[in-house]
Structure formats: C-alpha cells, structure tokens
Amino acid sequence: MTSSLPHWFLLGAGNMGTLAAWYLTRAGHGVTVVRSGASSDLKKQLHRAGNPELALQLPTLAPEAITGPVRHLLVAVKTPYTRSSLSPLLPWINEETQVLRLQNGLGALDELLPSGQVVEAVSTSAVKGQHPDHEIIAENTTWMGGNGPQPDWFASLTPHWPDLQWCDDIREPQWKKLVANAVINPLTALHDVPNGHIVSDPALRDAATRLCQEADRVLQALNPDWPGHSLDNVLAVAQATAGNTSSMRADRQRGAPTEIEAINGWLVTQANRLGIAVPAHLAIIASLTRGQ
C-alpha cells in the first residue's frame, strides 16, 4: 500500500458501500467500517457472473472508539439513516475532512456538513444481496465531482474503479439519476413490480410521463440548460433493468423506510421554493409514506 493514499472511514457497508470499498482497497486505499458494537473484521464476498468469488475483509471501529480527526469519510448509508450514522462522528470532522457521498437522492448531508467538503459520487452500477454476499449485476459509469478541484487521490482510483470519471459540473449526471430514481423507484415500490413494468404497463407509463414532466419543469427552473426529455432516459433505464427490483421496492418489501424523501422529496422542496406545482410527486410521496 502506498502510504500517501488516504484511509477512509466508511458509513454504510451495504451493497454499494461494499463495492466502493472493494475498488478503494484494490487501489491501495485503507477502509475501516464505522458501526456500533464493532468488535471484529467485516468479511464480505462479492460475486460476478462467470468470475471467481471476490473476498473482502474490512476492519471495523465503533464510533465512540474514534479519537482523532476524520480526514476521509465515505458516506454510503441509506439516506434515512444519514443523520444518526453521521452524528457521532461530527466532533472529529473539520474543514479539512473530505467527504465522498455515495447515496441515492440529494440533500442528505444538507445542514450536517458544509457543501464545499463534499465530493458527490453518482454511479449507474448495480449490486444486490444481503451481508455478507453481494452480487455485482453491472459495473457501469461512476461520476465524481463537487464544488472544488479534483482531489489528489482521484487519479489512483481510475485503474481500479471501472469507468470512473471526474465531472466539474456533477449536476447533469446527478439529476439524470435523480429523475430515474424518482420515477422508477416509487412506481415499482407502490405497485410491487419489477422495473420493466414502467415500459410495458400503459398506466405506469402514463404515471411516469407525469412525474418526468414535473421534474423537468423544476430542473429547468433551477438550470435553464437542463435538456429535459427525461422520459426517454427513464424508459431506457427501465428497459435495461427490466427484471430488476428497485431499491425502494426492496425496502418496502422488507418493511424498511424508503429513500423517497431524499429523491422525490428533494424535487418537491425545490418546487415549493420556486412556486412550481408538482401534484404527481406529492401524491406518490403520500402513498408511499403512509404507514411508514
């Protein structure tokens, strides 16, 4: 391992957090999982179709055991748990901390950390499974970007993190994924269907059209250069992942809180600020949060 490479504290060793940890460790970065009650290393297995099993072993540390500044922090926890997971670390986070956020939606770190400290990561890769087994479904493009310059450590990752790209303006890939998640996730969760039903079911396609139109109006008000026509991208993503279960559908099936407040809720917050009506998003949030 090259000593000048950073050591990361990881919040959220689920599917995407585990994949990110695999790439980081392959690049020579250190990764320690922060979790309550930690007492032993976390052992993981990643599976790729037609490839040998990938074994990953990560040291763990309880939050109360941290006794010095956190210089590099990877936040990959589900958005409903961001505040509770991050709060014990806040005394050790300062203006020199670099935070890499790998989460669905937007706004999870607002009012918790200054935005200038955060590098956003937007990935179109897909992983499914439950600890300790994680199946890599697809390794696609991951974009990173933020308000500052490209960090020194970024170049060390590119040989080991498939199709990793730095993006000076992260908003376009971030918003594209946001809209796809704001349409596919809640519709498939509400109707308990795989992603492809967005394309094949006329009623769901009509609902997707309304959600996309509202999202485009909000995003074009935020940035006049937003290209719109989000429905085309949403249908393409739904078709490409036709047999998949969205993360929100999986959360709902197991009775866990969904990430809808960080996805559709973020769009509604922007719409309210801009005075734009988004009834389709309000309705689907109400439907999914009822009973949570």
In whole angstroms, what is the distance from residue 1 CA to residue 202 CA? 54
| 153, 193: one domain | no
pLDDT digits (tens, 9 = 90+) for 250-267: 999 999 999 999 999 999
pTM of the model: 0.94
Last residue of a domain, one of 168, 197, 230: 168
Structural domain of 158? 7-168
| 163, 44: one domain | yes
| 156, 176: one domain | no
- Using CA atoms, how far residue 258 sits from 13, 26, 40, 214, 246, in Å, is 17, 31, 29, 21, 11
In the chain, the number of structural domains is 2
Q: Which tokens hold the place of 161? A: 């993190």
- pLDDT value, residue 2: 45
- pLDDT value, residue 113: 85
Q: Is residue 82 part of a domain?
A: yes
Amino acid (one-letter) located at 107? G
CATH code, domain with 204: 1.10.1040.10
CATH code, domain with 137: 3.40.50.720
| 107, 179: one domain | no
Last residue of a domain, one of 109, 142, 168: 168
Local mean pLDDT, 10-residue blocks, the chain (292 residues): 80 97 98 91 93 94 94 97 96 93 95 84 93 93 93 96 96 97 98 98 98 98 96 97 94 95 98 98 95 58
| 156, 181: one domain | no
DSSP readout, 116-158?
A: GGEEEEEE--EEEEETTEEEEEE---EEEEESSPPPTTHHHHT
Last residue of a domain, one of 168, 190, 221: 168
| 159, 229: one domain | no
Q: Is residue 1 part of a domain?
A: no
